[in-house]
Amino acid sequence: MFSHQEASSSHTSRAKAPAIPRETRRELANRVSWATASHVLEPFEALREVLAKNDQVPPASLGAFLECGLTSNQAAEILATHHYNELASSTGSRVWWLLFKNQTGFFSLLLWVASALCFVSFALDPKAIDVFYLGIVLAVVVFLTGLFSFYQEYSSARVMEGFRGLVPPKVTVLREGSSAVIQAREVVPGDLVVYQAGDLIAADTRIVEAIGFKTDESSLTGETEAMRKNADAVHGTVRPVDASNLAFYGTLAVEGTAKGFVVLTGDETIMGSIASLTSGLEATETPIAREIRVFVWMISAIAISLGVVIFVLSFAVTGSGIVMSLVLGIGIIVANVPEGLLATVTVSLTLTAKRLAKKQVLIKQLESVETLGSTTCICSDKTGTLTQNRMTVTSCYVNDEVHEVPSSEEGWAQGSEDARKLMVDSTFETLFKIAVLCNSGKFTEADRGKPVTERLCSNGNASDYAFLRMAEAIPSLHEALTTDGDEASTMGGIDKDSEGGRVFWVHELRKRCPCPYPEASVPFDSRWKFMASLCTLESGGGGAGGGGVLFVVVKGAAEVVFSRCSTMLLRGTQVAINSRLEARFQQVCEELGARGERTLGVAFRRLDGPLATGGGGAGGGEAPGGWRGGSPEEANYPLGTAHLASSRRGAEGTAGVANWAGDALCYVGLLGLKDPPREAVPSSVRAARSAGIKVVMVTGDHPTTAAAIAREVGILTGPTGAGASGGGGPGGGQGDEGNSEGAPRECGPTRAIVTGPELETMPDDQLQRVLLMDEVVFARTLPVQKLRIVESARSMGHVVAVTGDGVNDAPSLRRADIGCAMGLTGTEVAKEAADIVLLSDDFSAIVDGIEEGRLIFDNLKKSIAYTLSSNIPEISPFVLFIVARFPLSLTTILILCVDLGTDLIPAISLAWEAPESDLMRRPPRDAQRERLVTWKLVSFSYLQIGVFQALAGLYSFCVVLSDYGWPLSALPNSAHKFEAYPLDEKRRTIAPSCPCGGGRPATGNFLDSQRTVAIRGGSLVEDSGAELSAEDREACDPRDIGIKWDEDWPFGYGCPFGSIKPTQECKFSPTRSPWGRPCYRPSVALRCAQTASLVSIVVVQWADLVVCKTRLLSIVSQGMASNTVLLFGLFTETLLCLALCYLPFMNTAFRTEPIHPVHWFPSMPFAVFIFVYDETRKGLLRRSRRLAAIQGAPRGAVGFVERYTYY
């Protein structure tokens, strides 16, 4: 994929490659080997060399090549033997790296270590077969979890690559004499390419024609100043990177136009070589990645610390063997690690990418969307972002009169008397002719025959397209171009095209009025705010004529063009501009601006003398050495520059010779264009305001136009005072321009409209005071001023999102916390500098992205709160075992069943949770204080919900043991007595209470039911036979074999069932299957109680999952049906729990038992309590906020409940 090195950012809110220092970049550029010496050759020689290397026959001459370029066959042959124009992909190695990374995250490493310790324990005690199986389970679990995270991350990466394919970089090439726009990756060596300002250079290119062409090579060399390029061969030992006739892959065209042929592509380019040298650079960390890293380290530190403490206490204090102590330590680590968290994070980010894709938003760095959720200030362009970018000419000002302009052929045909007068007005004809000739746009060939309003245009901007559509619809233009020799027309005719309506009239007009010196054009630039061309206007009427005479034609910001004029064209006569005309012009601009119209002016100047004659300066057809353009300073024809610096002089009536002899222009009139707001923008602005986000308009338009649109979309809501939405200079811009004086006009105590000239003289502290106002509009701003606004807002602590589409917007896009480039109208460099690309150019997409960013953070908090709450009921059994020698109510394998079984899908399902209804009414998150995991969240999960869950588990455990004969009072200091075979406290020898008997072993292969064990004198004796030996019979009383009787207890117990004596009667019949089996069998009863403890965690997690759906709102408000995945999660965790309880193979594998149905109920009151507790807590939170709002408490003031429980 075609790409270039991204410019470095001075802040770390985005995951971009770190900046390479300027010296390093220059050094790298000099070190790489360049496989050609094209820069030291003349253009044709260099071309021959390139084609010869690719086995192609060179053209007869450079001129022939410049007219035709390569043929399609030649391009196909070169591509077949060459490679695509893209840097080598590391997809293969990246896949393996992703897999390795997801298997070796810190949580994963903890579990890998835990698995290894299990195998070590088994090696120390081969009879501990259950520890061996635990090691296998841990290894499988961590591998499958890593595999799932890998799959999600890899799928997300592929989704993002697919999104990027929606905006593939394009380049204009000339093949077989026709211009074509192709994907940059399809460019081949020898291709003739055309560049203009705003394009990324598609490959290392040898320049053969250049008009004021400059490139920004800062991404290559680190030099900040744009480099001028020309076609001259470089002599001497100049290095390729310093050659003025080479444009390099991935750099940016910032000024002018150029033609050249491709020399090297892809990895062979200088940028490709540098990329291979710098491929080891790592990306900086995004905020969400940093938050997760901190959380992982925090939980890991807790897990490791508790695991070590438990191991030491178990081994050193209680005297347990090393194997048992290791198992306990591993259990603590496993209980603390939320194994499914990273999978939840990956799923959340992937879902966000897909949701935003449907909303036409491309997130270049996926994790950056969370930063977007923290946005506090949006600096938005107007045109195309807040508006539809469908400019239509709606009015014009000619002959000192304002007229409405129809927008379609039907409108002209059925128009008013005013429209019919315009069609025959020579001044209006000159106006629209200049608007078409001084214009970069053109209709696409595919739209021939379509209605004018439905035609698409290429090149140019929205204003250019509007002028083309306006002129194309004018019937008088059609008649003039199809009437041969009509003297009444001011244009020469052409024969009617055989296809009739399939003629592009504006293209025919350009053929009749050619621009013979394209290299002398002055392209539009925000620094001078107009564009100029040299064109021939065919005949004389209206003062803009003169057969075959060269004219300067100018189009640009209305007041800028007006300031360069000394005369105005009124009904065919050039009249000196006086104070009355100036005041009238000012009034018209303000009136049109107040209607939300952008105003652009046109002017001309005749260069005296026929085109064919020589001469010089303004008085001849051609200047010595030819006409030059590029910029107003470089142009050698009159553009009103000298007049601009002088005071306007002139009397009423026709302009005098002295006035015309200067370089001043003649003002023809202006055109008013309307770009209606997008339908969804007003509601999006309201949503942003309710979310505590300041929306600032930053536009190059006139203040009155900006204020009108701002009022329509809701950025300005209150009334504006006199001069607040007008004044400050007439007209409207074509880009980012400004020309007004004065102080900021305040529209009330919390509103201001500030123009570019005002901003230029405004100190930083005053700008910050302006940004503190509620409603702010910046009009007539320059790109450098936009950057200053962004930096000022960031210095005030704002998290700034800024929109932009032009080359000059790139600094602002880079500097902002979130740069939002336009996908339709944005230049490639703007898209590269931005973090997200709005594929529809719609402001509403930014607000959607902010909501999604907040939702990610919100849902991750909920998922973590849900996951951590089960840690306490998982840890507490081990603590009770160490402190009170309490039987383990939960084994390590059952903990894994919870973390990676019953809890996994519910935790992930919270990623699908819909936003709470107050999500966009909350103030933006303070990234410095509101972290992903706070002590309040830990308190909520561990000390509130976690404690309730631990009590539920302990209660269920004790209830089950009590029902089977062992009440709570019998449990302390009895952990060793509940083994499958009775051992002493250190689990080394048979307990003395069991001198004789037989049964299954306490250790070894517990799945092997054929093994039998005999006891002689309290020691284990393995015997393969079923009968007791003679020695057994002599040493043991027959009554003690298998069953030990007690006069105080009429029921049997003894060696086959364990060594702890029941103290109460079993509540279930010992003969009833399956619920009666555990009666007086301690080891079986223990497994039943442990299974009930597992069930209790699942039951209370039902309630926990429901309460974690919201952080503030009641579940009644949020509803349950909004998240069907969560309902599926509830179903699956219940189904898995049932399987663990009642499927025989699951009982065998996880050492569970089928529990009586009644034992599902002891934990249910705790689930109800958790639900009621949390609903009460949230109710108090909402009540506290309502009271604070009623009492007028300052924003940010919180009550006791919120201060200590709102996570």
The residues that are catalytic are: 381
Distance CA(3)–CA(167), nearest Å, equals: 12
Tokens 């001198």 map to which residue?
995
Distance CA(937)–CA(945), nearest Å, equals: 11
Tokens 């009550």 map to which residue?
1199
Mapped onto helix, strand or coil, the DSSP state of residue 533 is strand
Hey, what are 513's tokens?
Answer: 């009025």
Hey, what are 304's tokens?
Answer: 């490791």
Provide the sign of the torsion angle of the four alpha carbons 930, 936, 941, 942, taken in this order: positive
Three-class SS of 224-250: CCCEECCCCCCCCCCCHHHCCCEECCC
Parallel, antiparallel, or unpaired for β 573-576 and 694-698?
unpaired
Taking CA 1188 as the corner, what is the angle to CA 1186 and CA 1190, rounded to the nearest 5 degrees? Answer: 70
Look up residue 829 and give its amino acid: V
Distance CA(932)–CA(338), nearest Å, equals: 15
Distance CA(954)–CA(498), nearest Å, equals: 93
Taking CA 198 as the corner, what is the angle to CA 194 and CA 199, rounded to the nearest 5 degrees? Answer: 40
**Measuring CA to CA, which residue among 813, 836, 833, 812 is closest to residue 823?**
836
For 445, which DSSP code? G
**Measuring CA to CA, which residue among 372, 312, 481 is closest to residue 882?**
312
**Cβ density class 348-364: b for 16+ within 10 Å, e for less:** bbbbbbebbbebbbbbb
1092 Cα distance to chain centroid: 46
Altogether, the residues listed in the chain come to a count of: 1207
Mapped onto helix, strand or coil, the DSSP state of residue 357 is helix
**Measuring CA to CA, which residue among 534, 556, 692, 689 is closest to residue 623?**
534
Mapped onto helix, strand or coil, the DSSP state of residue 1170 is helix
Query: What residues contact 210, with CB distance under 8 A and at least 6 apart?
Result: 229, 230, 231, 256, 257, 258, 259
**Measuring CA to CA, which residue among 9, 634, 806 is closest to residue 368?**
9
Distance CA(289)–CA(12), nearest Å, equals: 12
Tokens 């054929």 map to which residue?
1010
Mapped onto helix, strand or coil, the DSSP state of residue 1053 is strand
Tokens 């405004």 map to which residue?
762
**Measuring CA to CA, which residue among 225, 222, 190, 186 is closest to residue 204?**
190
Query: What residues contact 288, with CB distance under 8 A and at least 6 apart?
Result: 345, 367, 370, 371, 856, 857, 860, 932
Tokens 């919270």 map to which residue?
910
Distance CA(360)–CA(1122), nearest Å, equals: 23
Distance CA(182)–CA(265), nearest Å, equals: 15
The CB density around residue 772, as the number of other CB atoms within 10 Å, is 12
Rg (C-alpha) for the chain, rounded Å, is: 40
Q: Which residues on neighbouring strands pair with residue 211, listed in sequence order?
A: 257
Q: Are 853 and 374 in contact (CB under 8 A)?
A: yes
| Phi, psi dihedrals of residue 779, rounded to the nearest 5° | -120, 155
For 2, which DSSP code? -
